Structure 1
Amino acid sequence: MKQDHDLSEKIYGVDRWGKGLITVSPEGEISLNDPAQKSSGSISLPGILHDLEQRGISTPLLLRVSSFLENEIRHLNKSFTDAIERVGYKAPYRGVFPIKVNQQAQVVDRIVEFGRPYDFGLEAGSKPELVIAMAHRLSKDALIVCNGVKDAEFIRLAILSRRLGFNTVIVLESPKEAETVIEVTRELGIDPFLGVRVKLTNQIGGKWQESSGDRSTFGMNTDQLLRVVDRLKEAGLIHCLKLQHSHLGSQVPDVNDVRRATSEACRYFVELTREGAPLSHLDLGGGLGVDYTGEKRSSDNSINYTVEEYCANMVETVAYAMDEAKLAHPVLVTESGRAVVATSSMLVFDVLETTLYDAPDAPEVAMDDHHLVADLAAVKGYLVRDRIQECWNDATFYRDELRALFRRGVVDLRQMARAERIYLSLTAQIKAMAAASDPVGELEEQLEKVADVYHCNFSLFQSLPDVWAIDQLHPIVPLQMLNVKPDRRAILSDITCDSDGKVDQFILADGISPSLPVHSLPEDRPYYLGVFFVGAYQETLGDLHNLFGDTNVVTIDLRADGGFDLLHEQEGDTISEVLSYVEFDPADCVAAFRKMVDEAISEGSVKASERKILMGAYRDSINGYTYYEQPR
C-alpha cells in the first residue's frame, strides 16, 4: 500500500484537535506528547498497548495520562496569573475542581497534587463529595466550595471542617437552606464561610444552555437573594457572607457569552456589597469549554476561544466593573471541570470483526433465475462514471423488487442470495468509482447508508454514555496505519446486544461525517481504535447495560526519554463483581449451577466425568472479564 505521512491530517484532522498532545508519527501511529517536555520524543500509543499486553493488561481499557492532567491544571492557572498581571488585577485566582466531573480517586488525588502550588481546591455537590474533599490535604488558601442541596448533616460537616483549617464555603441555594445554616451555626457556635448562588438572566448558547438563564435549576432570583441577605443580617451572620457564586454555564461555545455573563455577575456583586454583604470572592462557576472537533467555532462540540482568551475576558470584565464601582477586586474563583480532565483520558479498544456491505465478485446468474436477477447483473455492463447515479438507482430498484418477490414466495432463498451478492458486488464498484470522483448530493448520502459495520470490543453505555444519550462527539481515529489510505468506511458497533450501541457521527478534517474512514482488518495483528478526550463525566455516568462493567484502567506518566511509567492499574470488573451490583450473590449462582449439574448426573443426562468440566467452565466465566477476551 502507498504511504503518505500527510494522510492523517487530510482525513482525521489530528493536528487540529489534538492540541499537540495527540499527534501522528512518521510510522503512521498515534503518539502521545508531554507538552512540558518539548525536547522529549513522542511515544507510540500502539507501542504502549503492546507493552501493557505483555504485562497482561488487555483492551478494552481506559488510559489516563497523568502528564496531560498536570498540563491542563498548569495551563489554566498560568493563563489566569498572566491575565491578572497584565491587567493589574489586585486579587488572586483560586480555582476549584468539581468532583462530579470525575470522581475517581486516581484523578482527584492527582488534581490535588498538581493543583497545590496554585492553591487549587475542590467543589463538592453532595455529602459524599465533601467527604472526598476533606480527605485531602489542600493548601492553606485553597477552597472547598459546597454547592447543591444541603441537609443539616451536610452543613454541619462543612462548618466543622473549618476547625481543621479548611476554607469550606457553604453556597446558599435557597432561603430554606439559609434557615438550616443559621440553626446549625447556632448549635455549633462556629462562624461559617458563606456564599450565595445568584441565578443570572443571561442564557448562554450550546448543548447545555438550559443550565443557565432564568430556567436554570439552581440559584436564587433577586427577591430570594434579598430575603436571604436580610435574614443573615437579622441572625447576625451577614459578616460570614463572603462569596457570590454565579454559574455562567457549561461548555460555553462563545466567548462573548462569557463576557456578558461575567458582566451581569459583577452587577449583582456590586449591589450585594451595597446591601452590606462583605463579599471578597466572586465564583463564576463552570463554562470553560473543550474544542472536541478542533473547529475553533461556536458550536455544541467546539469553542471559539482559547483558555488564555477566556481568562483575559473574565479578568478584564471584573476589573472594569469593580473599578467603576470603586470596590476592591475580589478573589476570582472558577469551577472548571471538563477543561481540566477531558483531555487526560482516552478509551482504546480492538475491532473484533466486520460486516462488509460490498463483495469482491458476483456469482453467475443461473438459467432458472428470475429475469430481475439477470437485469440486476446487467447493470455492470453500463457502469461508468457518467452514469454512476443511474446505476445505483437501477441496482437498488432491482434488489428491492427481488426482495418483494422473495417475501411473496416467487423467488427462492438461493436466488435471493445470488441477487444480494450481485448487488453487493455492484456496490463495491460504485463505492470505488465514487471515491475517485467525490460524489455529491443524493448519491453521497445513499452510499453512507451502506457503510460497513466494525464490531468493537467496548460498551457504548458503560464507557461513552454521553455519545448515546446526548450525541456528544469525541475524536475517534485508528491508532495505526495512518500513513496508509483507508480503503473502507464504517460505523462502529459495540459489544452490547442493543441496536443503540453504535457510533455513527465522526469528527473528520472536513467536518462531521456519518462514517469513519478505516482500513481492512490486518490478519496478523489487532486493529485498534481510540476515542479521545473522555475524561469528563464518562466514567461516573456509565451503566451496566448487558452487565458489561468497568474496563481495565491504567494511569501512566510520560517520561522525558520518550518512555512511560505505569503509575496505577485497576483491573476491569469481573462477572462476579457485576453480578453483585445487581443483587446476585456469585456464591449462590455457583451453588445453584452445581445443584443442576448434580441433578443432571442423577438423571443420567450428564456423565459424572463431565462434572469437573462443567463446574470449571462456570467458575472460570464468573471470575473472568466481562468483555471479549482474545485467546492467548
Structure 2
Amino acid sequence: MKTKYIDLIDQSFYFPQEEFTLENNALQFHGIDLMKLVEQYGAPLKFTYLPKISDNIQRAKKWFADAIEANGYEGNYHYCYCTKSSHFKHVLNEALSNDIHIETSSAFDIDIVERLKVEGKITNETYVISNGFKRDQYVNNIARLINNGHKNAIPVIDNYEEIELLSEEIEGKFKVGIRIASEEEPKFEFYTSRLGIGYKNIVPFYTKQIESNPQVELKMLHFFINTGIRDTAYYWNELMKCIKVYIALKKVCPTLDSLNIGGGFPIKNSLAFEYDYAYMINEIIYQIKTACDEAGVKVPHIFTEFGSFTVGESGGAIYEVLYQKLQNDREKWNMINSSFITTMPDTWAINKRFVMLAVNRWNEEYERVLLGGLTCDSDDYYNSEQHMNAIYMPKYKKDKPLYIGFFNTGAYQETIGGFGGLQHCLIPSPKHILIDRDEDGNLTTEVFAQQQTSDQLLGILGYGKNINGENNAPEINSGQVFAKAKEKTDPITTS
C-alpha cells in the first residue's frame, strides 16, 4: 500500500518537475538543497533565487519575438517591469540586467529611478512608464525626471486633470499615454475600473485636451484588466474593444504608435498548473495585426508591464512545524514557527494559494492536516491547496523536525506585509536570504536581512531605551535597518 508522502505527490502530479526534484529524501528547488539552506540559516526564513527573474524575462522576450516573426508583425516589443511587485534593489538590479524598461506607480518610484540612473542601471533611453493617479509629489517627480533630460519618460494619463497638471511643471514638449478604463467581469462588484478614462471618452479627450496642445505628444494607449491575460471570452472581448479604440485614435492622432497591454501573466500556484504562454502571446499579436490590417493602420509597438511574472517565481519561504494540536477527533493543526498573516499576507487577504511542499521526510507516511500561524488571529491559517481540498504532510513526530516550503511567493508579500516595520502580534520578520549563481554556475548565498529583533520593533513603537539602557529607537528607517545586516557566505554545495 502506497502511504508515503512521495507516493502521494507522485500519483497526484507529474513529478519531478523543472524546478522541483527530490534528492536524499529532501526537496530541491532549482538545484538548491533546501535542507542545507535550513541547516545553515535556520527557519523560518525567506529566500530570493535571483536567476529565476532573468529566466522569466528572457522567456517572455523569446515568446514575443517568435510571435512577431511568425505573424510578420512590423512593430517592436518592449518588456517593462512593474516595480510595485517588488521594489528591492536586488530585484531591480537583476531585472535591469536584461535590457528592460520600468513601470512606476507612485512618487517614490521616481526617486528609485533616479538612483538607478546615477548607478548606470537606467539611461535616458530606458522607457519609464508612469501609471497611477497623479497628484502633487508624483507630478513634480515626473516633471523633474523629464526636465532633467529623460525624454523616454511617458506619464500615462489616468484622469482629465493630469494633462494640465503636468503641463504646468514640465518644460517644453513631453510624451504621454492614455489609460483605458476597462469594463470589469460581470460578477465583479462594480462595472468599470476606477483607473483610466472610459472607452467612449478616449477620442473626445484627445481632441479636446491634447490635439491642440503643442506641448503634448500622445504616444501610447494603455490597456489592463484585473483578471490578467487569460484565455477567456471576457479577455478577448476587452482586448478587441481596446484595439478598436487604438485604431480610432490612430486615425486622428499620427503620433500614436504604441499599445501597452499591461501585465497579468499568471504564475505557477500548484504542481498541476498549466498555461500556454506562447499560444496566448501569438494570439494577441495575431489579433492586433489582423484588426490593424483590416482598418488600414500601422500596427503599434507592444509594451507589457509584467510584475508578478517577473519576480513571483523567484521567492520562497520555509517554516518548521513546532507542534501538532488535535482540536477534535479529526482536525490536526500543525503550528508553524511564524505567521501566514505577516509573512504571506495574500494567503488570508485574497485567499491566494502558492505551491506548498514538504521540504524533508518524503519517504515517510503522510496525514491530513491544517496549518496554523503563531498570531492569535483566527485568520492566521492555511487550510487547503489550489489543486485539492486538503493539505497532506508527512506525519508529525516530535523527535523528527518537519519543514514546509512555500514557493513562488516573490511578488507583493514583503510590501503588503510591511517589510522592516511592525507585524501583527509583533511576530518578527524572518531572515531573508539572496541566492545567486557565480560565473561557474555555483550557488552563492547572502544574508539580505536578519530576523527582526525586539529592539527594532520596540524602537518603532517609541519605547526608547531597552532594559539595558540602550536606545533602540532606529535612527534610520526600518527597511534600512535590515539592509545593514548583510553578510556574504560560502557557496551552498549542490548534488
SS of the aligned residue for 2:143 comes to helix
1:528 partnered with 2:406 = no
Structure 2 CA distance, aligned partners of 1:28 and 1:81? 41
Structure 2 residue aligned with 1:177, among 135, 148, 162?
162
Q: Is the Cα–Cα contact under 8 Å of residues 153 and 175 in structure 2 kept in the other structure? A: yes
Structure 2 CA distance, aligned partners of 1:30 and 1:251? 31
Q: CA deviation at 1:541?
A: 0.5
Q: Which amino acid aligns with 1:518?
A: P
1:235 partnered with 2:213 = yes
Structure 2 residue aligned with 1:167, among 129, 137, 152?
152
Structure 2 residue aligned with 1:22, among 7, 20, 27?
20
1:200 partnered with 2:182 = yes
1:587 partnered with 2:465 = yes
Deviations 1:209-268 (Å, cap 9, x if unpaired)? 66xx84211010145432344212232245x11011111334444355443332221111
Q: Is the Cα–Cα contact under 8 Å of residues 290 and 338 in structure 1 kept in the other structure? A: yes
Q: Which amino acid aligns with 2:25?
A: G
State the match for 1:565 in structure 2: 444
Deviations 1:302-354 (Å, cap 9, x if unpaired)? xx632212211221111112212222221101111111111110011111111
Q: Which amino acid aligns with 2:342?
A: Q
1:111 partnered with 2:95 = yes
- The change in CA–CA distance for 1:341 and 1:485 in structure 2 (over 3 A counts) is same
State the match for 1:377 in structure 2: none
Structure 1 CA distance, aligned partners of 2:303 and 2:92? 18
Structure 2 residue aligned with 1:518, among 364, 382, 394?
394
1:94 partnered with 2:78 = yes
How do 1:46-445 residues align onto structure 2 when only pairs under 5 Å count?
46-50=35-39, 53=40, 57-113=41-97, 115-116=98-99, 120-136=100-116, 137-138=121-122, 141-162=125-146, 163-165=148-150, 167-185=152-170, 188=171, 190-201=172-183, 203-204=184-185, 214-222=191-199, 224-225=201-202, 226-238=204-216, 240-276=217-253, 278-296=255-273, 305-356=275-326
| Aligned residues with identical type, % of pairs | 20
Structure 2 CA distance, aligned partners of 1:262 and 1:195? 17
Q: Which amino acid aligns with 2:28?
A: S
Deviations 1:271-302 (Å, cap 9, x if unpaired)? 11122252111101122112312445xxxxxx
- The change in CA–CA distance for 1:316 and 1:204 in structure 2 (over 3 A counts) is farther
Q: Which amino acid aligns with 2:251?
A: R
Q: Is the Cα–Cα contact under 8 Å of residues 185 and 191 in structure 2 kept in the other structure? A: no
Q: Which amino acid aligns with 1:245?
A: H
Deviations 1:480-503 (Å, cap 9, x if unpaired)? 1223331x2211111112222111
SS of the aligned residue for 1:94 comes to strand
Q: Is the Cα–Cα contact under 8 Å of residues 258 and 314 in structure 1 kept in the other structure? A: no
- The change in CA–CA distance for 1:506 and 1:160 in structure 2 (over 3 A counts) is same
Q: Is the Cα–Cα contact under 8 Å of residues 152 and 181 in structure 1 kept in the other structure? A: no
State the match for 2:474 in structure 1: none
Structure 1 CA distance, aligned partners of 2:369 and 2:95? 37
Larger radius of gyration: 1
Q: Is the Cα–Cα contact under 8 Å of residues 23 and 31 in structure 1 kept in the other structure? A: yes
State the match for 1:409 in structure 2: none
Q: CA deviation at 1:505?
A: 1.3
Q: CA deviation at 1:14?
A: 6.9
Deviations 1:407-452 (Å, cap 9, x if unpaired)? xxxxxxxxxxxxxxxxx8xx5xxxxxxxxxxxxxxxxxxxxxx231
SS of the aligned residue for 1:49 comes to helix
Structure 1 CA distance, aligned partners of 2:46 and 2:358? 16
1:551 partnered with 2:430 = yes
Structure 1 CA distance, aligned partners of 2:263 and 2:158? 16
Q: CA deviation at 1:518?
A: 2.7
How do 1:407-486 residues align onto structure 2 when only pairs under 5 Å count?
450-486=330-366
TM-score, length of structure 1 as denominator length: 0.68
Higher helix share: 1
Structure 2 CA distance, aligned partners of 1:453 and 1:3? 20
Q: CA deviation at 1:569?
A: 2.6
Q: Which amino acid aligns with 2:319?
A: F
Q: Which amino acid aligns with 1:168?
A: A
Structure 1 CA distance, aligned partners of 2:126 and 2:283? 23
Q: Is the Cα–Cα contact under 8 Å of residues 431 and 447 in structure 2 kept in the other structure? A: no
Q: CA deviation at 1:6?
A: 5.3
State the match for 2:489 in structure 1: none
Q: CA deviation at 1:506?
A: 2.0
Higher strand share: 2
Q: CA deviation at 1:124?
A: 0.8
TM-score, length of structure 2 as denominator length: 0.85
Q: Is the Cα–Cα contact under 8 Å of residues 254 and 305 in structure 1 kept in the other structure? A: no
Structure 1 CA distance, aligned partners of 2:150 and 2:256? 20
Q: Which amino acid aligns with 2:205?
A: R
Q: Is the Cα–Cα contact under 8 Å of residues 159 and 191 in structure 1 kept in the other structure? A: no
Paired residues, number: 462
SS of the aligned residue for 2:66 comes to helix
Deviations 1:532-590 (Å, cap 9, x if unpaired)? 11111111101510112321110102469885111453212211112233x32341665
Q: Which amino acid aligns with 2:322?
A: L
Structure 2 CA distance, aligned partners of 1:556 and 1:158? 34
Q: CA deviation at 1:453?
A: 0.8
